[in-house]
């Protein structure tokens, strides 16, 4: 059911090579008008992609973690915005599947709904991270939620918002609550805020939550604010490799684009050296990507795995941005025009800077691990 041949992927009768090509044709128009990639989402739903990672016994496609990472990599070569919005859904599904397989978590009903209805899950984890955001006020039978969430990628097509709020518990102190909210609830309002340098098609608008009621039974996790709870190590293990599959795909697309652009100068020694330097940085992207996916697939969640993933994430970001910069130098002034596909790819890959753990945060986390210090300080 699964085959890879010269970047061509077919999984459960879905031809991702065809989807990549279709998305590439539409990408410039979505980018030019800050338009959400709704047509691409419709194609993905029609192909059953939102349920691909759900186990077959629950009606899903049973795709492995590695297969999902490879799909995101390929789709990013067509449209980075589509792939990134999809990655935010797929990492939520990956976490649910891991919890079902390893902790017997009662997530079967949700997984079945994802497969049957092609539900789209929306994450706010990157902006919430360890501290969470918003407030949870205790009321009869549950909590009253208020807050504003940023970077809610894919929210124009979303069904369930997987998010958090902070409850100031009298005995436990500040506690982050995890729960799902229906995105079509009257308590959730999408704000038109996503007007950005790149990744313009992801629809990563702000969401305003006012007086949403969450019953106690809907709270899936309670954890101390700002600390590395085991659940956050699971997020680091499964989310970041899938997100950075997108940037690895973009880096490869940039390479392909600039190699075509410099063909008239192929006999120039400076061009040859420039392409060679770019290929060297691209190998670093590839190796970091492979290291991340290997950890996401097989390593147990915990500080050491988080450290491994975050180091590789930093290496991939740095190398991918270097690939993009080298490509712009090689393309010369032609790459500066908005009609150039390279110009959009360059802008899209800049978003790799903004996912946790960023620079100094990762360095400090890694330093504490190396110095045998607790990760919470």
Distance, in Å, from the CA atom of 370 to the CA atom of 227, rounded to the nearest integer, reads 19
- In this prediction, residue 125 carries a pLDDT of 82
Pairing of strands 8-11, 14-15: antiparallel
Distance, in Å, from the CA atom of 30 to the CA atom of 86, rounded to the nearest integer, reads 16
Which domains occur in the chain, in start order? Answer: 2-119 (1.10.540.10), 123-224 (2.40.110.10), 230-370 (1.20.140.10)
- In this prediction, residue 2 carries a pLDDT of 34
- In this prediction, residue 15 carries a pLDDT of 87
Q: Per residue in 4-22, pLDDT tens?
A: 334 444 455 578 999 999 9
Distance, in Å, from the CA atom of 192 to the CA atom of 182, rounded to the nearest integer, reads 19
Burial of 33 (0-12, 13-18, 19+ CB in 10 A): exposed
- In this prediction, residue 14 carries a pLDDT of 76
- Intervals of the chain under pLDDT 50: 1-10
Distance, in Å, from the CA atom of 59 to the CA atom of 115, rounded to the nearest integer, reads 6
Distance, in Å, from the CA atom of 27 to the CA atom of 81, rounded to the nearest integer, reads 8
Query: What are the b/e assignments for 83-120, b being 16+ CB within 10 Å?
Result: bbbbbbbbbbbbbbbbbbeeeeeebeebbbbbbeebbb
Nearest CA among 209, 245, 218, 221 for reference residue 130: 221
- In this prediction, residue 221 carries a pLDDT of 96
- In this prediction, residue 1 carries a pLDDT of 30
- In this prediction, residue 317 carries a pLDDT of 98
Q: What is the DSSP string of 193-253?
A: ----SS-GGG---EEEEEEEEEEGGG--EEEETTS--HHHHHHHHHHHHHHHHHHHHHHHH
Residue 146 CB contacts under 8 Å (≥ 6 apart), including other chains = 134, 135, 137, 165, 209, 210, 211, 212
How much is the pTM?
A: 0.95
Nearest CA among 48, 89, 65 for reference residue 180: 89
- In this prediction, residue 5 carries a pLDDT of 36
Q: Per residue in 87-135, pLDDT tens?
A: 999 999 999 999 999 999 999 999 999 999 999 999 998 889 999 999 9
Q: What is the DSSP string of 180-197?
A: EEETTSTTEEEE-----S
């Amino acid at each position: 059911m699964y085959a890879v041949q010269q970047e061509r992927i077919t999984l459960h009768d879905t031809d991702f090579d065809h989807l990549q090509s279709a998305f590439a044709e539409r990408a410039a128009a979505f980018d030019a008008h800050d338009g959400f990639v709704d047509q691409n989402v419709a194609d993905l739903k029609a192909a059953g992609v939102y349920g691909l990672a759900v186990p077959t016994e629950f009606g899903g496609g049973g795709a492995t973690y590695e297969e999902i990472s490879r799909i995101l990599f390929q789709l990013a070569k067509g449209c980075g915005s589509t792939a990134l919005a999809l990655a935010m859904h797929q990492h939520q599904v990956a976490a649910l599947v891991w919890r079902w397989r390893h902790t017997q978590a009662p997530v079967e009903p949700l997984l079945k709904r994802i497969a049957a209805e092609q539900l789209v899950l929306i994450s706010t984890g990157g902006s919430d991270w360890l501290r969470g955001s918003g407030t949870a006020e205790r009321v009869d039978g549950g909590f009253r939620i208020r807050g504003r969430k940023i970077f809610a990628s894919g929210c124009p097509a979303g069904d369930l918002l997987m998010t958090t709020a902070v409850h100031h518990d009298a005995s436990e102190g500040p506690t982050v609550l995890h729960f799902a909210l229906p995105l079509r609830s009257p308590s959730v309002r999408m704000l038109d805020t996503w007007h950005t340098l790149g990744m313009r098609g992801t629809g990563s608008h702000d969401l305003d939550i006012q007086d949403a009621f969450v019953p106690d039974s809907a709270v899936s996790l309670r954890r101390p604010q700002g600390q590395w709870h085991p659940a956050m190590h699971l997020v680091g293990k499964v989310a970041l490799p899938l997100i950075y599959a997108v940037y690895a795909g973009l880096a490869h697309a940039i390479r392909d684009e600039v190699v075509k652009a410099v063909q008239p100068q192929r006999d120039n020694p400076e061009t040859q050296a420039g392409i060679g330097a770019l290929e060297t940085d691209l190998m670093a992207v590839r190796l970091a990507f492979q290291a991340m996916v290997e950890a996401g697939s097989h390593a147990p969640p915990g500080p050491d795995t988080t450290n491994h993933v975050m180091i590789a994430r930093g290496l991939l970001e740095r190398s991918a941005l270097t690939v993009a910069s080298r490509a712009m130098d090689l393309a010369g002034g032609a790459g500066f025009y908005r009609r150039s596909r390279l110009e959009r790819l360059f802008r899209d890959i800049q978003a790799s800077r903004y996912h946790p753990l960023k620079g100094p945060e990762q360095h400090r986390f890694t330093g504490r691990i190396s110095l045998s210090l607790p990760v919470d300080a």
